[in-house]
Structure 1
Amino acid sequence: MSTDTEHVEEESETSHSLLETWRNWYHVPLVGLVIAFMFWTRTQEFDRFVTDDGTPRLAGVDSWYHWRVIQWTSENYPHTMPYEVWTSFPTGRYVGQFGTLFDQLIVTVAMIVGLGNPSQETLYTVALLSIPAMAALTAIPVFYGGRRLAGTFGGIVSVVVLALAPGQFFSRSTVGQLDHHVGEVLFMAIAVVSMMVALRVAEREKPIYELVVSKDWDALKTPTLYAVLAGLALSLYVWVWPSAVALVGIFGIFFAVHLCLDYVRGVSPDHVAFVGAVSLGVTALVTAVLIEEPGFSVTSFGYLQPLLAILVSVGCVFMAWLARQWNARNIERAYYPIAIGGLITAAFLLMWLLLPDLYGTIVDNAVRRILPVGTNVTDSTIAEAQPPENFSQHVVEEFGMAFYTMLAGLAFLAIRPLRSLEFRAEHTLVIIWSLFLTSMAATQVRFSYYLVLAVAIVNAAFVAGVWDLVNLDVSLERGRESLKSLETYQVLTVVLVVLLLFAPMLPPIASATTWDSGESVGPHEEAMVWQDSNHWLADNTPEPGAYGGADNADELDYYGTYEYPEDGDYDYPEGGYGVMSWWDYGHLITTQGERIPHANPFQAGATSASAYFTADSEERSELILEALGTGESVSDESNEDLEEIVAESDESDEEMRYVMIDDAMAGSKFSAITQWSGPGYENYVEQGEFEAQGQPLPSASENYDDTTLASLYVDDAAEMEHYRLVHENDQYSVVGGMMLNQQQQGPIYSLPLRYALDDPSWNAQTAQMAASLEESNEAGEVNTDLGAQIWDAHITSSVKTFERVDGATLTGTAEDAPEGSTVYASVELETNTERPFTYVQEAEVGEDGTFEVTVPYATNDELGVDDGYTDSAVEATGDYDVTVASDDGENATAIAEGEQDVSETAVVDGEELEVTLEGAEDESFEPPEAGTNVDDVGDEENEANGDGSETEDGGETPIGDDSEGGAEE
C-alpha cells in the first residue's frame, strides 16, 4: 500500500472521527451559546442597578426583602433567618418563603468570591447577577427534558424556545429582580427531569416486591439510586420554596393515574410504585428536617411538606399491594381505577373530618393556585395573583404560538401507544405536569413563569411528532444524501414548524423580543420614590427600642437572631414601635428605613391596616392601633368593643408611632384597601357636581373624605389631635378623579407628576398647578392644564410621613364668650419641601367659659433623635393663634384672642398649657382655613419653574411629555 493511499485512508478515518465527535457533542457549544444569550439579554442594563454610594436599586418590592435576608445570612452564615422581628409589628413573623436555599446559595457564592468575607459591594453584585445566571442555567435541565422526549435535536429546540420566550419567566429573571421565582423554575425543572430519569430507569430495571423481600440489592441498586436522586431534587425544590409542595401533589396524581394505567394494561405497577415510594420517602425525610413552624401553612416549612410526601409514598406502596390482591381474587382489572378513585375520595372525606386544617389548606390552595374555579377576594387585589383576563391572548403574549404547538406535542405523547410506540411513564408524567401548569397559569397570571418549562420541553415532542408524520430522515451520517432525498412537502413542513415556533417571538412579528425587553428593565420606580422617605425615617427617628428615651435598642439588633416565640407573638421591649402603612410597602420600610412595619407583602396585617385607613374617625383609628397585638379582630368590632379590648390589653408598651401614606394608597390602590375590611369601594364614590360633555363624573364621596387615610394624606391631618406631618417627599402627584382613557374613568385615582416637575421643592410651578386644580374644583369643572382630564383633585407629595403623639392640650377661659362659641387654634407651618400650610383645630367653649384644644404640632424643636424622639422636617413659623369667636360663619365675631408657644415636650408628653386671652382688638374675624397656602409661594417673576425660567410655551410641562418619559401607569 503506497504512502499516498495510506494517507488518504488515514484522512478518511480522521474525518469520520471528527464527524462522530461532532454528532455526539454538537449540542454542547449550542446549549452554551443559548446560556450565554440568556444571560446577556437579562444583564444588559446592569449599570442601572449600581450606584456610586452603594445604595441598592432593585426591580421589585420583594427583591428588597431578599436583599435584607441575604445581608442577614451573610452576617450569620451559614444560618438563615429563623424569625423576623423587623416586620409585622407588634407580633413579629416567621418569614417562611425567605431565608431558604435560594438565599443561602447566593450568599455561598459571595463567600467564595469574597474569600470568606465578602464586602457589601461583592454581596450586592453577586446577588444581582445570580438571578440571570439561574435563569440561564435553567436551559440545562430543559435541554435534557427535551432530549428525553425527542433526542438531542429536540433538546436544542426546547432551549431555544426557553431563550426566546419574552413573558413572565423573562421579566422575573432579569438583573435587579432579586426574587425566588427564578430559583423555583430552575429547581422545578431539575426535579421533574430527575423524576423522568428515575421512572425510565425503573421501567428498564423492573424492581418488584420480591426483590425487596429477598434483599437483592444488586438488582435494586440502580433504580434505588436514581429514585433517591429524584427525591433529593424534589427536596431541594421544596427547600427553595415551601409552596413547591404543590409539585408533590402533582407527582401524587401522576402516580395514581399511571399505576392504574399500568395495571389495566397488564404491566406490574411495582416498577413505577418503587420510584414513588423511594423518592417521596426521601422527600418526606428531608423536609421533616426542615420543619421550622408547626402547622400546615403552604408558605412555611411545617408539617404539610413531609406529611403530603409520606402520603404519596405510602399511597404508591398501597396501590402496588392492592394490585396484587386484585390479581389474587381474579377481579376485573378495569375496576381497579374505580376502586382507587373511591378510596381517594374516602381519604379526603376522612381528612375533612379528622384533619380539617390539612384539608382546608389543600382545598384552599388548590382553588387559589392550581384550579381556575374562583378567585379569593383579597387575592383579586394582587395584580400577579389574578387570572388572565383573556387566557388565549395571554399565552400568545407569553409564548407566541409555542403554547399551541405544546398542546399538539402533548397530543403526540398521548397517542404514542396507539401508534405501537413504547408506553413510557415519563410521558404520562410530562402530560399531567403540563396540564397542571397550564391550569395554574390560568388561575394566576404569575404562574406563566412555570408554564414556560412545559412549553419549552414539550415542543421537543411536537417537533419529533411532526418529523415522524412526514417521514423526515435527515442525519449527519448520510450528509448530503439525506438532504437531496427531501421532498418539497417535507421542506415546507420544516419551514412551517420553524415559523410557528419562533417567528412570533422574533422581529418583525414580535412586538417585544427578549433583548428589547432586557433593554427596558430598571429599578422599581415606586421603591425609588419611597427610598427618600425611608432614608429620612432611618436618620430622623429613634432606633426601635429607643423611643421616648428607652435604652433597649440593643435588644432589637437589625442582624440579630430571635427565637420563635411559643405563641407566635414576640414581646417587644419598651421603646419598640411600629410603622403603619399599606402592606405593599412593608418590605421597603424594613430594608430602606430599618424600621418595623405592621403590614407587609406577606399580607400580614393587611386586614387591620385596611380597617385603620378606612376608619371614619380619629377616635376609631386610635382604638384600632391600640387594640393591635391583642390577637383580637379589629376590623369588624364596634368602638365600644374596641375600647373593651384595649382596656383588657397589656400591650401598652407596643405603640404604632408613625404612619406613611403615598399617592397610590390615596388613589389607585384605595379600591384594593377597601376590599380587605369593607365596606366596598362603591361606598366611597358618588356622582358629584363634576361633568364632562354633559355627563356626570364619579368622584370621591364624603365617606372617602372622612377616612383616616384622606384626613391624613389629603388634609395634612387638619383637625386631628394626635397626628402631625413630619416629612414629605419632594416629588409630587395628583390625587383625585381623572380620565384614564376615553372609555374608563377613575373617581379615586393617582398620577405621579415626577416626570413633569424638574425642581425638587414646592416652587412656583407646583403652586401654580395646585392653584389651577383648586380653581377647577371650586367651579366644578374638569381641568386639562396637565395634559389630562382631571377633576376634584389635589396636587400633593408622593409620600407623606406622620407621627402619632399625645398632643399638647391648650386650655383657657373666655369669660365673655357665650356657651357654644368656637375656639380656633391655628399655626403656620412649612415642610421640608418649603411648602407652607396651616394647621387648624377647633373646640367649643363650655358653660363656664372654659375650653380645651388638643394640638399635635410644637412651635420649637427642642427634642431630637438623641433624646428618643423625632427630628421633624416640618416646622412652625410662629406660635399658635388662639381665637374665640361667636360664630364660625361669614359674620363671625372675634371675642378674645391670644398666642401660645407649644414645646416639643408638651406635645409628646401630653401636657396641658394655659392660654392667656385678651379681648379682640378687631371684632371682624375670618376663621382660618387649613391647607396649603398657595399664595405664599414664589413671586410674580417665577411664572413657571420657580427659578425665573419658563417652559418653552410659557406653561407647565404636560404629563406624559416624551422628553420626560411619560407618566407612570
Structure 2
Amino acid sequence: MNLSEFSKYRNYIILGLLAVFTAFALWVRMIPSEGLVSVAGVNLLGNDPWYNLRLIEVIVENPLSYPWFDPMTYYPYGTDNFWGPMFPIIGAVMCLLSGASTRPEIMYVASWLPPLMGAVMVPLMYLVGEKVSDWKTGIIAALFTATIAGQYVYRSLFGFVDHHIAEVLFGALFCLLYIYYLSYIREHPVDFKSIESLKVPAIIAVFCGIAYVIGVSNMPTMILFALIASLYTGLQFIWDRLKGKSTEYLVLLNVVTFLVAIAGFLLIGIHHAGMSMARYSMGHIVAYLAIIIATLVLFGIEKGLKEKSFSYYIGALAGLVVAGIVFMMFFVPEFFSFFVSGLSSFFGYTATLTTIQEARHWDIESAWQAFSYGMILLVFGFIVCAWKFLKESRQAYLFLIIWSFVTLYSTTIQVRYEYYLAANIAILGAVFVAWALEFGGRDLLSYAGINIEKSKTDESKPQTKKNSKTAESTPAPAESSSKAKKKSDKKKQPLPKKPSANSLNALVAILAIVLAVFFVYSSADIGIATASVMKNGGMTPDWQESLEWLGENTPETGIDYYAVYSRDSYENPEESYGVMTWWDYGHWITFIAERPPNANPFQEGVAGNLGSAAFFIQESESESNEILDNLDTRYVITDIEMDTTKFWAMSTWYNPELMHAPYMQNLAMIGQDGSFSSVSLNNERYYNTMISKLHNFDGSMAEPGLVYYIEYASGAQYGISIPVISTAAQMTYDEAKEKVDAFNADKKAGTGAVILNSDLFSPTAEVPALRNYRLIHESPTNVLNSGGFLSYVKTFEYVSGAHIKGEGIIEIPLKTDQGREFTYRQKSIDGEFVVPYSTTGDKYGVKALGDYRIQGTDKTFSVSEDSVLNGLYIN
C-alpha cells in the first residue's frame, strides 16, 4: 500500500470527515427539539436559559441595546447583569436576520444557537490538534469533540439557550490563536532588532487579543484563560532560560494580546464599581496590566542575569514572588484582597455552594459518568504531552499542559467547569492516540500482513529512452548471454529479511485504538441518551400553568418588560411589587409571568435577614411578614420540592453551620442482619417553618394526629455518628407526649426520647394558622400517590387580613380552582382573629363556600375583599 495515493486526496478526506463529525454533533444536539417545540414556543431546558431568552427578547425589541441593569429580577433592587452581551446579541441577530419577531419564533430561532456552537467546536478542535501536532491529531480531536458527552453536550443542546457553550467555544478560539502564534515563531523567530520579524507574529497576537475580547464580552470568566496564559508564560520563561533560548516572542505575544484585551474591555465598559473578577469591573484592567508588567519584569530578569548561573535566576524569581506578595499585603492590602477574592470567586468553596448543582465538587464517580474512558485518555495525554515537550521543547505542548491542568483543577473544585474540560479531554486524548498510532501502528499492521510503503520521488520519474534504444539495437550473442546469466546466478544474494514487528509497540497502538473506540462509543451513547431524555425536559408543567395564571390574574407592576433601563435614573413604580419563591424559579417568573421575583438563580435575594431562605425557614409569621414588607412583596409561590427535597438547601442558606439539623433528625436503624440504615424524620420545628405552614397546611391551623414515639441511644457504642433507634412506635400525640416526658425525666446518659414524623400533614405538635396569607391558586397535579390531594405548585397572596373580635377557633369552608375542598381554621390571639380570606368580591380561583363561623357558636361573619386587603375591622 503506497501512501502517495492517500496524500493526493488527504485534504478532501479530512474535509469529508470533518463534515460527517460536525453533522453528527449537530444531529445529537437537535434531538430534544422533537419534544420541546410546540405552538407556544420552546420549553427551554434548565433555569438560566429562560433569562437569556429574556435578554434576547429585549435586544430584538431594542436592536443591539443590552440591558446592563434589569429591574425585572431581584426585586426591589434590580440586578446589574454580570453576563456579557455577546451570546444574547448573537441570538438576537439570528432572530433579526431570520425575521423572528413573536415570542415562539424568537424562542425557536435562539434555541438553535447552542447546537450550532457545539457543531462549530468540531472543526475548531481539529485546527487546535493540527497546530499542536499534526493533521492526524486534529482529525482525532474532531472525532472526540463530536462525540464527547457530560455537561458539555447537555449545555449545547437545542433549548439550552445559555452562554456556557459560547464560553467553551471562545476560550478554545483564544487557545487556538495562542498556540498558532507559538507554532509560527518556531519557524519564524522573533527578533526585536528586526522589524520584519515582528510583523506577522504581532498580527497573530492582535487576533489572539481580539479572540480574548470576544470571550470576555461573553462572560467575565474568560479571565480563566488569562490565568492560563500567565502560568504558561512563567514556566516557559524558566524553560527557555534553562535552554538558553530567546524569550522575546513571549514579550511580544503577551504585551500585544493583553493591550488589545484592555482596549476591548474598555469598549465593553466598566459596569461594576468593585474589583470583582466575576464582574465587568476595573479588576480586569488591573489583571491584564499585571500580566503585561509581569512579562516585562521576567524578561528584564532574564536579560539582567544572562551571564549568571541558573540558580541565580531561580532565586531571583522566588525572591520576586515573595517580595510581591509581601508588598501587596502591607502596602496595598486592597489589591491583595482583590487578588485573593478573585481566586476565591473561581476556586473557593462554601457550604451554600453545595446547594448549587453546578458548583459542587467533582468526584471520580461523576468524572467517569461524564467522560468514561476519556479520563484514561486524559491521563495518557498528559504523559505524552510532557514527554514530547521534554524531548522537542515545543511550546505548544507546554501550553496545552497548563491549559488542561487549570481546567481540570477548576472542575474538581466546581463541577460547572466540566464543560470546559471536554475540549481538553478531546485534544489530550487525540495527542495520545495519534502518538500511539505513530509509535506502534506499523508494527500492528505488520502483524496483520500489511506493509505500508512510503512514496519515493524517484519512482515517479520517467525512464530515459537512451539506454533502451541501445539495448534494442545491439543484441548480445547467445554465448555471451549464457555466460552472463551464470555469472549473475553466482552473484545472487538472498533478499534482506523484513524487520520483525515489535510486540510492545503494537500493544501500545492496540491500547490506544481500544480506548478510542470505547470512548467514542460510550460518549456517543451517553450523548444521545442525554439528548433523548431532554425531549421531555424543560419547565415543569405545573410551574408553567401557575406562572401563566399569575401573569394573567395579578395586577400589572408598572415595569415595562421590554424596556432598557439605567440604574442611575430608575425608580420602581408605585404599583410595583415582588414575588417570593425559592431562587431556582426566579427566571421562570420573570419570563413567563413577567413579574419580578425577589430571588433568582444568580443566588441574589437568597441569603441574609431579608433573603428567601430566611422567609421560608422562619418559624414566626410576624418575622416573615417583616421580610415581605421590607421587600414590598405581594405574592408567594411554593412547590413540593421546596417542601421536601429542597428543604435542606433552604435551611443551609439560612444557617450554613446547622443546615437542616434543627428541623429534621437523622437516626440509624439496625436491620435483622445487623446492618445499619438511616432515616430522616421531621420534628416540631420543621412543621412550624413557613414553607410547611404554606404548602402542607394552606396556612391553616393544624393539629397532630398519629406520630412516632422514638427512643434512641448514642451511636458511639456502635461506631457510627448518629443516634440509633432502640424503640419506635406509632401512636397518638397525647400518648407520645406522655411517654416522652416520662422517659426524659429519668433517662440514662446517651439516650433520649422524641416525637417525630414523616407525614407532611401530621405535625408533631399544634401548628398555628397564618393570618396574612391566603391560597389563591394551585396547580392541577396531585403529588400524593394514595389518598388526599397535595398540589405540586401553590400560589399565595400576602394580605393585611380582616380583624374580627372573638375567642376560640374560627373557620371557613373553601374550594380551590382544582375542585379541592378544605377548611381554613384559626385560633384567636388576645381575643381577636385576623382572617386572610374574603367571603365576597374575591377575584381569584380559591372561593369561600360560606361565611366565617366561630366553632361552638352561632356567630358568623361575612368579610369583604376590601376588608382583607386593607386590614379593616368586621362587626
- Normalization by structure 1: what TM-score? 0.73
- 1:723 pairs, out of 754, 773, 777, with 773
Q: Does 1:303 align with 2:282?
A: yes
Q: Distance in 2 between matches of 1:42 and 1:263?
A: 47
- 1:836 pairs, out of 808, 821, 831, with 821
Which 10-residue stretch deviates more, 196-205 or 182-191?
196-205
- 1:412 pairs, out of 359, 379, 384, with 384
Report the equivalent of 2:98.
113
Q: Does 1:857 align with 2:837?
A: yes
Q: Distance in 2 between matches of 1:519 and 1:234?
A: 34
- 1:229 pairs, out of 191, 194, 207, with 207
1:873-952, aligned counterparts within 5 Å?
A: 873-883=845-855, 894=856, 896-914=857-875
Q: 1:90 to 1:488 in 2, by over 3 A?
A: same
Report the equivalent of 2:30.
43
Q: Does 1:572 align with 2:572?
A: yes
Q: Distance in 2 between matches of 1:198 and 1:802?
A: 60
Report the equivalent of 1:954.
none
- How far the C-alpha of 1:323 sits from its partner, in A, is 1.7
- How far the C-alpha of 1:294 sits from its partner, in A, is 2.0
- Normalization by structure 2: what TM-score? 0.81
AA of the residue aligned to 1:174: L
- 1:703 pairs, out of 659, 665, 685, with 685
Report the equivalent of 1:957.
none
Q: 1:358 to 1:243 in 2, by over 3 A?
A: farther
> Deviations 1:221-253 (Å, cap 9, x if unpaired)?
111100111111111111111111111112111
Report the equivalent of 1:521.
534
- How far the C-alpha of 1:35 sits from its partner, in A, is 0.3
Q: 1:207 to 1:799 in 2, by over 3 A?
A: same
Q: Distance in 2 between matches of 1:96 and 1:432?
A: 27
Q: 1:524 to 1:353 in 2, by over 3 A?
A: farther
Residues 538, 595 of structure 1: 8 Å contact kept: yes
- How far the C-alpha of 1:113 sits from its partner, in A, is 1.9
- How far the C-alpha of 1:293 sits from its partner, in A, is 2.1
Residues 285, 306 of structure 1: 8 Å contact kept: no
1:272-671, aligned counterparts within 5 Å?
A: 272-290=250-268, 291-327=270-306, 330-353=307-330, 356=333, 358-364=335-341, 366-367=343-344, 369-370=346-347, 375-388=349-362, 390-391=363-364, 393-416=365-388, 418-419=390-391, 421=392, 423-470=393-440, 472=442, 481=453, 487=501, 489=503, 492-506=507-521, 512-524=525-537, 526-544=539-557, 553=558, 556-565=559-568, 571-607=571-607, 608-628=611-631, 655-671=632-648
> Deviations 1:283-326 (Å, cap 9, x if unpaired)?
12211222222222233222122221121122112211222222
Q: 1:25 to 1:334 in 2, by over 3 A?
A: farther
Report the equivalent of 1:59.
45
> Larger radius of gyration, structure 1 or 2?
2
Q: 1:267 to 1:877 in 2, by over 3 A?
A: same
- How far the C-alpha of 1:274 sits from its partner, in A, is 1.3
Q: Distance in 1 between matches of 2:170 and 2:679?
A: 51
Q: Does 1:769 align with 2:769?
A: no
AA of the residue aligned to 2:115: P
Number of residue pairs matched by the alignment: 750
- How far the C-alpha of 1:672 sits from its partner, in A, is 0.9
Q: Distance in 2 between matches of 1:695 and 1:462?
A: 45
Residues 263, 323 of structure 1: 8 Å contact kept: yes
1:741-780, aligned counterparts within 5 Å?
A: 769-770=787-788
Q: Distance in 2 between matches of 1:250 and 1:173?
A: 24
Q: Distance in 1 between matches of 2:315 and 2:284?
A: 28
Runs of at least 5 residues in structure 2 that lack an aligned partner in the other structure: 456-497, 701-768
Report the equivalent of 1:125.
108
SS in 2 for 1:416: helix
AA of the residue aligned to 1:22: Y
Identity %: 27
AA of the residue aligned to 1:103: P
Report the equivalent of 1:269.
247
SS in 2 for 1:26: helix
- 1:169 pairs, out of 141, 152, 155, with 152
1:243-262, aligned counterparts within 5 Å?
A: 243-262=221-240
- 2:20 pairs, out of 24, 33, 43, with 33
Which 10-residue stretch deviates more, 400-409 or 376-385?
400-409
AA of the residue aligned to 1:305: H
> Deviations 1:856-885 (Å, cap 9, x if unpaired)?
1000126xxxxxxxx3111101111134xx
Q: Does 1:101 align with 2:86?
A: yes
Residues 44, 539 of structure 2: 8 Å contact kept: no
Q: 1:88 to 1:355 in 2, by over 3 A?
A: farther
Hey, which of these two has a bigger chunk of helix by percent? 2
Which 10-residue stretch deviates more, 798-807 or 19-28?
19-28
SS in 2 for 1:343: helix
Q: Distance in 1 between matches of 2:69 and 2:817?
A: 37
Q: Distance in 2 between matches of 1:876 and 1:837?
A: 10
- How far the C-alpha of 1:416 sits from its partner, in A, is 2.6
AA of the residue aligned to 1:565: D
AA of the residue aligned to 1:431: I
> Deviations 1:5-27 (Å, cap 9, x if unpaired)?
xxxxxxxxxx9998554123421
Q: Distance in 2 between matches of 1:137 and 1:296?
A: 34
Q: 1:378 to 1:232 in 2, by over 3 A?
A: same
Q: 1:668 to 1:142 in 2, by over 3 A?
A: same
- 1:160 pairs, out of 143, 157, 172, with 143
Runs of at least 5 residues in structure 1 that lack an aligned partner in the other structure: 1-14, 545-552, 629-654, 735-752, 754-767, 771-794, 813-821, 846-850, 863-870, 884-893, 915-969
> Deviations 1:372-413 (Å, cap 9, x if unpaired)?
xx731111111221112x32x333322232322232222222
Q: 1:559 to 1:432 in 2, by over 3 A?
A: same
Residues 725, 800 of structure 1: 8 Å contact kept: yes
- How far the C-alpha of 1:363 sits from its partner, in A, is 2.9
Q: 1:844 to 1:454 in 2, by over 3 A?
A: closer
Q: Distance in 1 between matches of 2:96 and 2:345?
A: 38
> Deviations 1:649-695 (Å, cap 9, x if unpaired)?
xxxxxx11011111111101111111112242011013799999899
Q: Does 1:75 align with 2:61?
A: yes
- How far the C-alpha of 1:418 sits from its partner, in A, is 4.3
Q: Does 1:182 align with 2:165?
A: yes
Q: Distance in 1 between matches of 2:567 and 2:191?
A: 45
Residues 201, 226 of structure 1: 8 Å contact kept: no
Q: 1:179 to 1:523 in 2, by over 3 A?
A: farther
Q: 1:688 to 1:513 in 2, by over 3 A?
A: closer
Report the equivalent of 1:920.
none
Q: Distance in 2 between matches of 1:341 and 1:829?
A: 75
Report the equivalent of 2:474.
none
- Alpha-carbon RMSD across the aligned residues, in angstroms, is 2.8
Residues 60, 178 of structure 1: 8 Å contact kept: no
Residues 184, 240 of structure 1: 8 Å contact kept: yes
- How far the C-alpha of 1:831 sits from its partner, in A, is 0.6
- How far the C-alpha of 1:514 sits from its partner, in A, is 2.5
AA of the residue aligned to 1:834: G
Q: 1:60 to 1:355 in 2, by over 3 A?
A: farther
Q: Distance in 1 between matches of 2:779 and 2:102?
A: 31
